[in-house]
Structure 1
Amino acid sequence: MKRVFSILIILFTCFFSVGHADELEAHYNFLEPSDPINTESEERVGNENSELAMPIVVYSDYDYDYIIDSRQVKKIGHPYREKEKIVDVWVKQEASGNQITFYPSECVMNHYYLRLDKAQMQLVSQVQYDTSGNRSVLLHKNYIEDGWQDVIPMTKEYEMYQAIVKYAK
């Protein structure tokens, strides 16, 4: 009886751990294009032939530096407006040199879509990397047409938007 019970526990554990692994895989598989973004008309803005990425600080305050990789900024087609291009960019948020830290720095990567015609941006996903390089997804959502937010002047987002759009054009 103990043997049957042990086998049932093992099967039960294996069955539910596989299901849970699939859920985690789906949850962390945010880099796959699950939203209707048109990548056929993708246009790289940075110099992708360069071997080294050139970090560009788009905004800096007392606590954090907001940095983009010059090779990863790209213009893509708007999913619902054929003639409009939007900017697809990852912004790295890391502790600035002004901040006193007792642990090695962690960083947060924010994935944005920016509209070039209007001062609007949309946060698509947010990923945090800890000191050992492990990643945890803080936020992931598919593209939503109603998800665009106006960029308010004199804010951190406005300064970032201006710098990224200037670089993308």
Structure 2
Amino acid sequence: MMELKTECLPAGVLGYKACKYKAKDWDSTKYRSEATNNDEWSGFYTGSTETLTFGYMPDCTDNQGNGTAYLNIVNITIPARIIVCHDERFKSPAQDKTALLKEIKEALRRIEIPVADSDLLIPTLARYRFYFKCYNNEDSNDMEIIIPNDLVDNVALQSYKQQIFINGVGQTLTKYIK
């Protein structure tokens, strides 16, 4: 049986985010207007470690693999509630995600968060003002925090590192300032 727990995150550093834009260009209002909430896992993904998030840097390039990707530090400006799932089945990309999703929703109901089987998981958690944390679907101990798109107003990004990509090949990772 899947177990979930709720925690309170203090304001401050939450993790890392691979972006196509510099931290100074972050605009939560623009993000919310462009984000979609039509998937179970729709949200603003934050990696718990620099190494995990570094793996998403190539996703920030154009179709030819060119461009600059930014590794920004994610801060939250006010405390937030989070649901934490330490179920190690999330570590496997081969795991049946539909079955896990059903178990998550059942576990949420056990802790009195009314999520119907037909509800989209992360968008529904926004109604109750919860983030969600689970293992990344790779064989590692790294975790991701998913902030529902509707709750990104308290997210602030801080400049950290950047990497230029040429034909899909990442060049040296360098620090950058706003």
TM-score range, shorter chain: under 0.3
> What TM-score results when the alignment is normalised by the length of structure 1?
0.22
Larger Rg: 1
RCO (CA 8 Å, sep 6+): is it higher in 1 or 2?
Answer: 2
> What TM-score results when the alignment is normalised by the length of structure 2?
0.21
